[in-house]
Amino acid sequence: MNVLHMRLKTPDDLDKLRDDIRQKQEKDKSFLAVCGGTGCSSSGSEKVREVFQQYLNRHNLKKKTTLKFTGCLGLCERGPVVIIFPQGIFYQKVQESDVEEIIEKTFLKGEIIERLLYQDPVNGEKFIYADDIPFLKKQKRILLGNNWLMEPTSIEDYISLGGYQSVVKALTKMTPPEVIAEIKKARLRGRGGAGFPSGIKWQECYDAVSKQKYFICNADEGDPGAFMDRSLLEGNPHSVLEGLIIGGYATGASEGIIYVRSEYPTAVKNVKTAIAQAENLGLLGENILGTGFHFKISVSTGAGAFVSGETTALVAAVEGRLGEPRQKPPHLVERGLWGKPTVINNVETLANVPYIISYGAENFLRLGTEKSGGTKIFSLVGKVNNTGLVEVPLGMTLREIIFDIGGGIKNGKKFKAVQTGGPSGGCLPVSLLDSPTDFEKLNSAGSMMGSGGMIVMDEETCMVDIARYFLRFLEDESCGRCFSCREGISRMLEIVEDITRGKGSVEQLELLKELANVVKDSSLCGLGQTAANPVLATIRYFEDEYFAHILEKRCPAGVCRDLIRFSINEELCQGCDLCLKKCPGEAIRGEKRQPHTILGDKCTKCGICLETCKYNAVVKI
């Protein structure tokens, strides 16, 4: 049975197809899931999969099991990850050489291979089953959960897991206003940044009078430190399509556009494949499942501009013009893509829609907080032990996410701050660790939800440097149209750079605050209006670090290049010559077996000596 040659004409056809697939898959209930997410791929999971495939072929095990190259499983730090079903045995950091052992021992005999098990970074406890691992146990994976059960580009897998059920339900049992009412009731808020209630957006578009309306899925994930949209599109593209179809039905749009950034080639490929599959089956296109609803989806790739994620700029970019934001009003429901009413929703927002329609708003609400329902995917990265994607109910505290799921700070260092909301957000200090992560709390703390990047920082991260980092990012990514944003960011950067060089003054810090507030007030689009947040938030919580740079000319975290220097502790130095050989600036002098010294004027402060020294003799002052 090749589903690509079928065409489903009624909802019953889909049910029948699902039963057929399930029946077929029943007999090979056991399968091996090799994570094919970006993280695992770069640690070599593709090779691992190849070796698995070869081994299974060679030993005629193909009938006993299926090999699935899945989307991102979330625990990217421990890649490549392999899970053996139906038991759910979780192996991490699997190398090509481990494949034979896994099949022979675990798969055929059920024995556990100790060294491949996940070990808790804090207490050293080992876990066998995926569901027991604290990283996964505390999560609520309604969006990412299917990732490890299916191949991203297999529509059979998706349908057998209950895919496209919600489209059937919406199209056959609900009217567009009912769908919108359900979304409103679920209090679904945009997951892309601002957190605008999606139901209201949909309602406005539904109310707009026009023959042609558009529904755009914003997959121009530009926030540095966030990659959940990438994982959703790469790992489960059909769920996004499903959300988009329902959105189109509810708002009266007949055309959907997915705007993906060009940095995600696999996402583009998988989405295109998924669209072709859905079209072939009659789940997209003319008269979907015989319900009389027409909807087509196309993919538009971005050309690399962070500001294009702003809704009005995104429309301009899809139209192929300069991706510059414009003044709102007119809003997009009045004048959107090609002048027609348009709704833009983020990838994750749309991926939530099938769940809400299938399981109802009550179940969705039960997951979140009072004001906003559901889960949120965070990309937990930075100086934390378990980096990766985590999906948790809205309202979970930062402490639970960072310490329980994330396993605490790397190398036993002290937690300093967590950055949320990308370049529009801010850094939250220890005192806010117990505050829940929802839209309101993060906003009132001077940060924001943003798209869900959560960058953990330890005592070796300089907060002034972080402010400098974001300003540099924004200086580059601003479109440059408004003077307040273009020149304002550049001048803020000028002041912050002076501070990191030890050339700042208290007056300049005051000027920085004044300027930050004006930039926030007077810029045209969201990028400019939030550009000052990283500065204001770091000043708000870490003013002492600014003062250390200004008054004492000292960088407490040891990051700012002009305020640190490297030196060698003569008592510890064994004169092994390792650092001398590695030093790219030829700044280290000394006879063999004699203590070495670093010549300050030649030192490029790259830190290679510190990294290579085996005796901890190199110190940063």
Partner 1 sequence: MINLTLNGMEIKVEKRTTLLEAAKFYGIEIPALCYDEALSPYGACRLCLVEIGTGNHSRLVSSCTYPARDGLIVRTHTERVIKARKLLLELYLATCPSSRTIQDMASKHGVTTVRFKQKNEECILCGLCVRMCAEQMQGKAIGFVNRGIKRRITAPFAKKSEECRLCGGCMYICPACQARCQGPQEENPVCNACLNLSPPCLDYFQEAMCYMDPCVACELGTGRKAKFTY
Partner 2 sequence: MEERTRTDLENLKKPNGSSVVSLLQEVQEKYNYLPEEILREIAKERDIPLIDIYSVATFYKAFSLAPKGKHKIVTCSGTACHVRGSEKVAREISRVLGIEPGYTTKDGLYSLENVNCLGACALAPLVVVDGKYHGNVTPAKALELFKMYTVHEKEEKEEAGCRCATAKELAK
Q: Under the rule (CB under 8 A), what is the footprint of partner 1?
A: 305, 307, 322, 326-327, 329-330, 474-484, 486-491, 494, 507, 511, 514-515, 518, 521-524
Q: Least distance to partner 2 from the beta carbon of 303, Å?
A: 3
Distance CA(327)–CA(270), nearest Å, equals 35
Q: Which of 8, 36, 43, 91 binds partner 2 (CB under 8 A)?
A: 43
Which residues in 533-562 contact partner 2 (CB under 8 A)? none
For partner 1, the closer CB: 156 or 477: 477
CB 404 within 8 A of CB 446: no
Nearest 5°: phi and psi at 377?
-90, 130
For partner 1, the closer of residues 311 and 379 by Cβ is 311
Distance CA 587, CA 260 (A): 46
Q: What is the CA radius of gyration of the chain?
A: 26
CB of 419 to partner 1, least distance (A): 22
Find the helix or strand (DSSP H, E) in which 418 lies.
Answer: strand 415-420
Q: Which two tokens stand for residue 550?
A: 């200004």
Pick 101 or 120: Cβ nearer partner 2: 120
Is residue 262 a contact point for partner 2 (CB under 8 A)? yes
In the shown chain, the binding pattern of residues 572 to 591 toward partner 2, with x for contact by CB under 8 A and - for none, equals ----------x-x-------
Q: Name the DSSP class of 113.
A: -
User: Rounded to the nearest whole angstrom, what is the least distance from the CB of residue 553 to partner 2 in the complex?
Assistant: 21
Question: Is 424 among the residues that bind partner 2 (CB under 8 A)?
Answer: no
Residue 214 interacts with which of partner 1, partner 2, none, CB < 5 to 8 Å by class: none
Smallest distance, partner 1 to C-beta of residue 511, A: 5
Tokens (6 digits) for 9: 């004409």
Q: Of the two residues 382 and 408, which places its CB atom closer to partner 2 in the complex?
A: 382
Q: Choose which of 243, 388, 429, 504 interacts with partner 2 (CB under 8 A).
A: 388
| Contact assessment for residue 142 and residue 375, using Cβ atoms and an 8 Å cutoff | yes
Cα angle at 27 between 235 and 14, to 5 degrees? Answer: 60
Are 412 and 344 within 8 A, CB to CB? no
Piece in contact with partner 2 (CB under 8 A), picked from 89-97, 545-553, 568-576, 605-613: 605-613
Q: How far is CA 351 from the centre of its chain?
A: 14
Shortest spacing between CB 223 and partner 2, in angstroms: 7
Output the CA–CA distances (angstroms, integers) from residue 546 to 268, 506, 507, 518, 565, in the order listed: 43, 9, 12, 20, 19
Q: Least CB distance from residue 497 to partner 1, whole Å?
A: 11
Query: How many CB atoms neighbour CB 34 within 10 A?
Result: 26
Q: Does 215 bind partner 2 (CB under 8 A)?
A: no
336 binds partner 2 (CB under 8 A): no
Is the sign of the CA dihedral 378, 379, 382, 388 positive or negative? positive
Q: Which of 125, 476, 510, 552 binds partner 2 (CB under 8 A)?
A: 476
- Using CB under 8 A, pick the residue from 36, 80, 163, 323 that binds partner 2: 323
584 binds, among partner 1, partner 2, none (CB under 5 to 8 A by kind): partner 2
Only one residue has tokens 């070990």, namely 119
Name the minimum Å distance from CB 490 to partner 1. Answer: 5
Any contact of residue 286 with partner 2 (CB under 8 A)? Answer: no
Based on CB atoms, which residue is closest to partner 2, 227 or 403? 227
The values of phi and psi at residue 618, to 5°, are -85, 130
Phi-psi region at 582: left, alpha or beta (left = phi > 0; alpha = psi -120 to 50): alpha
Q: Which does 383 bind (CB under 5 to 8 A by kind): partner 1, partner 2, none?
A: partner 2
Q: What are φ and ψ of residue 203, in 5° steps? A: -60, -45
Binding status of residue 430 toward partner 2 by CB under 8 A = no
* Least distance CB 308 / partner 1 (angstroms): 10
**Residue 185 touches which member of partner 1, partner 2, none, C-beta under 5-8 Å by kind:** none
Q: Which of 39, 237, 325, 452 binds partner 2 (CB under 8 A)?
A: 39
**Residue number, 521 or 586, with CB nearest to partner 1:** 521
Contacting residues for 210 by C-beta, under 8 A, at least 6 apart? 340, 341
For residue 71 the two structure tokens come to 């989307």
* Comparison of 31 and 469: residue with beta carbon closer to partner 1: 469
Residue 512 binds partner 2 (CB under 8 A): no
Please say whether the beta carbons of 418 and 456 come within 8 A: yes
Edge-to-edge strand order for the sheet containing 31-35?
66-70, 31-35, 82-85, 89-91
Residue 453 touching partner 2 (CB under 8 A): yes
* 453 contacts 223 by C-beta, under 8 angstroms: yes
Question: Which residue from 68, 383, 441, 520 is in contact with partner 2, where contact means CB under 8 A?
Answer: 383
Full DSSP string of 428-455: EEGGGTTSB-SHHHHHHTT---TT-EEE
CB nearer to partner 1: give 125 or 521: 521
Q: Which residues of 232-247 are buried (b: 16+ CB within 10 A; e: fewer)?
A: bbbbbbbbbbbbbbbb
Residue with tokens 């993919």: 299
Pick the binder of partner 2 from 597, 606, 615, 619 (CB under 8 A): 606
The burial class, CB within 10 Å (0-12 / 13-18 / 19+), for 472 is: middle
Backbone angles phi, psi at 558, to 5 degrees: 70, 45
Exactly one of 89, 317, 402, 467 binds partner 2 (CB under 8 A); that residue is 317
Q: Which residues bind partner 2 (CB under 8 A)?
A: 38-39, 41-43, 76-77, 221-227, 230, 262-264, 300-306, 317, 319-323, 379, 381-383, 387-389, 419, 422, 453, 455, 457, 461, 466, 469-470, 473, 476-477, 479, 582, 584, 604, 606-608, 611-612
